[in-house]
A and B are shown apart, each in its own frame.
Chain A
């Protein structure tokens, strides 16, 4: 149930950010999303504790690049949702995430079932083709 709720929250935040972008701009909306989220995570982490637990200093440098990537991702979502709607935005982002995930797995040489990969990617591409009319 938590997982379904988490998915719904992704949609909720995209909807709210999209509305903010209507009155401002996609990038400004992305800035506020991150700034307010930073405040929220900081307060929650301070209340619960354990922010610097583990060995974060031994993580590879590229693991710290998620922020700038996320900024462009959130801005893109805010820009798209006002133009093609929430459902189209969600399904095309899911399609891109899934297919790029397969490509990343292939690049990293992760084990996987080739037949399932081909079937899955073919179904997704067909779905995108249907959506583009």
Chain B
């Protein structure tokens, strides 16, 4: 399996970068919803419309299955983790921590988990030891993010 993991190619860059931009839009949309309705509502609506949208995408695109094996049942539970995230985020935003602190710590948690997941090949994904180059890149991107979060006035 480890042969599928490469250094990112330009297309991967574009895809990940574009996904980050989608996330910005998503936060704007869902955050606006939360400003009018409850926090549950702001998570419930996108899950509902997302389920319908995904169904339409599947019917139109009919993506091929890469493998014919049945995935383990626990792999269907990623959505629970996503639902929990919304509640924890709200819990931390209601604590003494400001929004910028919540975002910064969230990034830290995400990066720590992903490094650990790569090193161990968690949940059946390819194992990958992060190298020095990854460390430097990660440090620069996190430093830039912290500058934007705490001094950029963007949140």
Q: A24-B65, A31-B51, A81-B125 are in contact. Are A116 and B44 (CB under 8 A)?
A: no
Q: Are A104 and B76 in contact (CB under 8 A)?
A: no
Considering the chains assembled together, what is the distance between the CA atoms of A42 and B146 in angstroms? 34
**Interface size classification for chain A:** 35 or more
Considering the chains assembled together, what is the distance between the CA atoms of A35 and B143 in angstroms? 36
Q: Are A10 and B79 in contact (CB under 8 A)?
A: no
A-B pair number, CB within 8 angstroms: 463
Q: Mark A56-70, 1 if CB is under 8 A from B, else 0.
A: 111110111111111
B residues less than 8 Å from A5 (CB atoms): 88, 109
B residues less than 8 Å from A132 (CB atoms): 7-8, 10, 13
Which secondary structure dominates chain B's binding surface? helix
The one of A9, A26, A81 in contact with B81, judged by C-beta atoms closer than 8 angstroms, is A9
A interface residues (Cβ-Cβ under 8 A, vs B): 1-20, 22-42, 44-45, 48, 50-60, 62-77, 79-102, 104-105, 110-113, 116-117, 119-128, 130-133
B residues less than 8 Å from A55 (CB atoms): 36-37
Taking the nearest CB of chain A, how far is it from the CB of B123, in angstroms?
Answer: 5
Which secondary structure dominates chain A's binding surface? helix
- Name the 6 nearest CB pairs between A and B, nearest first: A96-B20, A7-B109, A67-B49, A123-B144, A127-B140, A56-B37
Q: Mark B46-65, 1 if CB is under 8 A from A, else 0.
A: 11111111110110010111
Q: A37-B47, A112-B153 are in contact. Are A31 and B55 (CB under 8 A)?
A: yes
A residues less than 8 Å from B21 (CB atoms): 96-97, 100
B residues less than 8 Å from A51 (CB atoms): 38, 40-41, 44
B residues less than 8 Å from A93 (CB atoms): 16-17, 19-20, 23
Q: Which of B129-155 contact A (CB under 8 A)?
A: 130, 133-134, 136-148, 151-155
